[in-house]
Copies of this chain bind each other. A is one copy, B any other.
Amino acid sequence: MPTAETDNGYLYQQVVKRIRNLRDANSLRPGERLPSLRRLAAQLGISVPTVKQAYDELERLGWVEVRPQSGYYLKAPLASSGRPRRPDLSAVPVPVRQQRLIEKVQQAITQPGLVPLGISNPASAFANPQTFSRLLRRVTTITGGQALGYGPMHGLAPLRHQLAHRYGEMATVTTGDQLIITNGAQEALTLALMCVARPGDVVAVESPTYFGLIELIESLGMMACEIPACPDGGVWLADLRQALDNQPIRACIFASSINNPLGSLMPDATRRALVELVESRGVALIEDDVYGDLHFSPQRATPAQAWSKRGLVLTCSSFSKTAASGLRIGWLLPGRFEAEAKRLKSALSGPTPLLNQWAVHELLVSGDYDRNLKRLRAELAANKERMVAAVQQYFPATTRHSDPGGGCVLWLELAERQDSGRLFELALAAGISIAPGPIFSASGRYRHCLRLSFGLPWSERVEAAVARLGQLISSP
């Protein structure tokens, strides 16, 4: 394609330079949208294709990202130090002993008055409390009498069918009858793990992994085998294969779409290969898909469930990260363990509250859920760029960070000598909560790592908190 050349070089290169100048002058900040093609073309008196060529070049350089039907957005510049390194693990099962530190961190996370950079759910999951209040009132009026009774043991049929329909769109064959509505994803994970493993059994987890999984494995008296997870693409299949060869692994629990704390997004092809690998060994895969709907790329990742041929994949998810965590509505797609999972739900906690199920059902059928999700994903994608930029600005230059493909958390690797447990205490004293690295490892690794949330609405207070953390790290 021919391009217009001027005295100052190709026209499109001038546009590229202009955007870079805007960025350097802080007139355009990471997470913000670039002017539309038409608008910039009109402004500069050049053609739309030339602006398009410039934006494509910016995308190739990793400065901007394209979001379909939305536009081009400025990304934070990539730190020269790059991504956190692949952890060097021996993949030996360990008994889990992390609950004390986890409790301490959880208390800090919910402590009022702090800047809660330790949270893992978007603070504005549902943007408008008034809208949500109205929704709940509508549900109450409709269901008042019905919500008094126990309701079906495994969930409200219309809600189960709504969920089945949504999975159907992702090419996962399921009927609502298989699905079990649970008290949040955490109960779904508990039921799933009790279906596939017994006390003393070895369970493979990503490393680093969500601390709730570590607590769960510890509570059920099982052993954890840590498989390195890559900040770009999730768990390393070669490492998993080796662990399966050498250890008596009964099950894997992986956040197989978007990981917490890395924020990494596993490519669909890897997830498919993962399912084939575990099913060929007769090992169950529990997928924790709570962040699946919060993808930054145009397409949602396909759940592992979609590729299961032997029924060994159990899918756990919830609305706690995407709508209202307070309702505590999760679900379990139990694969071939349907009968056992249903028995356990009945025995361990009984039916999930009916009113809450009706509220989520109304959220789905009204279209409010999808509309809100679109807003939320755009907000989080912008927040991510702002957080990465803030870390690059305020943290020591040696800091490595992950590149989340969705969700609301960023993983940081500091210099080896740093102690995130000490940083946690210092930050707390400064009115900030963070999630220190060791709570994400059954064996207490990642002492020099931490997780930061970009789930808060971006504000000067949040940016000041990141700056303060940077100071605390830089001090001797």
Q: Please list the residues of chain A having a beta carbon within 8 angstroms of any beta carbon in chain B.
A: 99, 102-103, 106, 110, 121, 125-126, 129-130, 132-133, 136-137, 140-141, 144-153, 183-184, 186-187, 190, 194, 198-199, 212, 215-216, 218-219, 221, 320, 324-328, 342-344, 346-356
Provide the residues of chain B in CB contact with A190, threshold 8 Å: 347-349
Residue of B nearest to A359 (CB): B355
Q: Are A151 and B326 within 8 A (Cβ)?
A: yes
Q: How many copies of this chain?
A: 2
Q: Are B110 and A129 within 8 A (Cβ)?
A: no
Q: Are B140 and A136 within 8 A (Cβ)?
A: yes
Q: A103-B343, A133-B144, A140-B140 are in contact. List 18 more A-B contacts (CB 8 A).
A: A99-B343, A110-B153, A129-B144, A136-B355, A137-B137, A147-B324, A147-B326, A147-B327, A148-B325, A151-B326, A183-B349, A190-B348, A194-B219, A199-B199, A215-B347, A218-B347, A219-B347, A349-B349
Q: Are B346 and A103 within 8 A (Cβ)?
A: yes
Provide the residues of chain B in CB contact with A106, threshold 8 Å: 153, 346
- Chain B nearest CB, measured from A206 CB (Å): 18
- Chain B nearest CB, measured from A187 CB (Å): 4
The complex places the Cα of A138 from the Cα of B145 at a distance, in Å, of: 15
Q: Are B216 and A347 within 8 A (Cβ)?
A: yes
The complex places the Cα of A199 from the Cα of B352 at a distance, in Å, of: 26
The complex places the Cα of A129 from the Cα of B199 at a distance, in Å, of: 45
- Chain B nearest CB, measured from A121 CB (Å): 7
Interchain Cβ contacts under 8 Å between A and B, 5 examples: A99-B343, A99-B347, A149-B326, A183-B350, A353-B356
Q: Are B152 and A133 within 8 A (Cβ)?
A: no
Cβ-neighbour of A150 out of B194, B320, B344, B353 (below 8 A): B320
Residue of B nearest to A109 (CB): B150
Provide the residues of chain B in CB contact with A325, threshold 8 Å: 148-150
